[in-house]
Amino acid sequence: MSLSLGQDTLRLRCQNLAKRIADDLATRQLKTGHFEQPDFYAKAFAVNLWTRIDPVRFGSHIDRALDALRSEPRDKTWHREFIEYALLDTPGLSSDTTTDILRGTKPLCPDVANWQMLGLINRQKRNAGLTTKLLDLVHFTFILFRYWRAPVFIDRPDCFSAQYHAFCTALLSDSPNKRHQRIANRATEILAQLVGSHGFVNLLGRGAGQSFGAACGLYVLLKCGYHNEAEAILHRLEDALVKAGKLPLNLLSPAPLPKNPGPENPQTPGWYSYNRHDDYLAFAGYCLLKASQLPAPKHIRSPAPETTAKNIVSQFSSSYYHAQMTLFGRQIFDVSGAPVIVSGQGKSTHILLPPTGGEQDAPSLYDQASQPLPAVGETEFARFLGARQISDNKLDISFELAGIVGHRTIEFQNARVIISDQTPDYSANELELFRILIDGNIGLTQIAEDTIICRELGIKLTANAPLHMIPQATFSAAGPATRISAKTGQGNCATLTISWGDSDA
């Protein structure tokens, strides 16, 4: 297949998916102009999407959405940065309409990279005067100092999220500023590495698996010429849509949206308290349509192997699996007590060890039992302290359990991942080591007290201590998860080996 033909096919698939989302949004819109579920910025991005696709066909939907935007209360939850960005980017929308909708609102300006980036881009679009350019320069300098740790954007100070790194990168890539574009190009390289051949671009940090980050990653990778990686993400979006009937919030757990979605509903894994399904749906449609309108790049690019962020993200890939971890963070969803592992390569890959943890500031599916670190029964759980990369394929994680510091080492080999836990000075009969989570959709069989196999994927888990397997013990971002733990009975250390095929290394 020629480069131009491959690009044309990819763009057409993006366009078809965007049109399906536009139709879905029109169906979900109420007579009031609002959507079935509460939203923050869905109406603004839906107006953008409908206008770009067919302003005549969707004319009544556009008018109702604009009226609803005008009538919404201007309280502290009003997402001005997102709404303004969508309106300023809507073709043919008059400045008077935008001004009318934004009247009486103020930017929220939280200490989060993507919000700060939106504020910068919006100001650039509003005004090109000298004073504004100087203010933009100061603001961008602050953004780089606060959130840029080349080659990645951190989500919040000391926290990384692949989803919001992708969003920041996509925003910068559209800036006319050449320096912004150079930084975006560099940030895109690590996105290509994170995607690999499996197509899951946002497995690390806040928002793991959500359609928001997938659409951002697809857009910027396609724009920069990473055709294969962009196509892999598009396959995941299309596959999730087929499985769920409509594009779901989270691609790792594709299912129809229940009537009462939210962090307390077991049918909505991967949901945070601030999530709004229609927000993410409209934004995904917006990104997909923009991707469909990109000019074809001059050549297909491949990820640069030297692009790393070893103090922030650790990755290891072989022909058997792809593993990645975040090495620091503040909350459960920021850190990786165990690696996220995708088994296999290409479209046939399976999530083996899923992203763990979730929203902790509101009622949630995710509690301390979702953190894959040692515990004492179901009463005392280890707390992540930090991680460091010892070598290219070995990491050390420190954790605290009941006032005692323990260590976990993880070694990545070609066909094996070896996890060793050690917690000194603790009663071995009470201690549960590992407690790693396996995707609950994967069939596991325990063939010996120290051996568990997955015939479907050709994977074996073995340990030097008896293993305990509890199906659907807790939740991950991919849904219910099986927990694997060990009680040594003779000491405070144990080693678990996950191996693929018949290889010894």
Q: How far apart are CA 259 and CA 237, in angstroms?
A: 22
Determine the Cα angle at 117 with ends 111 and 120, to 5°: 110
With contact defined as beta carbons under 8 Å apart, do 390 and 408 qualify?
no
Domains located in the chain, CATH noted: 3-257+272-292 (1.50.10.10), 313-500 (2.70.98)
Determine the Cα angle at 360 with ends 380 and 165, to 5°: 120
Q: What is the mean pLDDT of each run of 10 residues along the chain (505 residues)?
A: 70 97 98 94 98 98 98 93 98 96 95 97 89 94 97 94 98 96 96 95 96 98 95 97 95 90 87 91 98 87 73 93 93 90 95 87 83 90 93 94 93 97 76 94 96 96 95 93 88 92 57
3-state class percentages of the chain: helix first, strand second, coil last, to nearest 5: 35, 25, 40
Look up residue 162 and give its two tokens. 């692949």
Q: How far apart are CA 505 and CA 492, in angstroms?
A: 26
Look up residue 151 and give its two tokens. 């080659």
H/E segment holding residue 474: strand 467-476
- What local confidence, expressed as pLDDT, does residue 505 receive? 38
- What local confidence, expressed as pLDDT, does residue 321 receive? 97
Q: How far apart are CA 394 and CA 54, in angstroms?
A: 53
Q: How far apart are CA 300 and CA 316, in angstroms?
A: 23
Q: What is the dihedral of CA 245, 286, 38, 362, to 10 degrees?
A: 90
| Burial letters 47-69, b for 16+ CB under 10 A, else e | bbbbbbbeeeebeebbebbbebb
Handedness of CA 171, 175, 180, 185 (dihedral sign): positive
Closest C-alpha to 487, from 420, 422, 433: 433
Does the pTM of the predicted model rise above 0.75? yes
Collapse the DSSP code of 103 into the 3-class scheme (helix H, G, I; strand E, B; otherwise coil) and give the result.
Answer: coil
* Burial group, residue 332, by CB count within 10 angstroms (0-12, 13-18, 19+): buried
| 109 backbone φψ class: left, alpha, beta (φ>0; ψ -120 to 50) | left
- What local confidence, expressed as pLDDT, does residue 490 receive? 64
With contact defined as beta carbons under 8 Å apart, do 363 and 264 qualify?
yes
- What local confidence, expressed as pLDDT, does residue 359 receive? 75
Closest C-alpha to 21, from 267, 220, 300, 215: 215
Q: How far apart are CA 36 and CA 95, in angstroms?
A: 29
Query: What are 103-108's contacts with CB under 8 Å, separation 24+?
Result: 104/74, 105/74, 105/78, 105/80, 106/80, 107/80, 107/81, 108/76, 108/78, 108/79, 108/80, 108/81
Per-residue CA distances from 220 to 13, 165, 213 (Å): 16, 11, 11
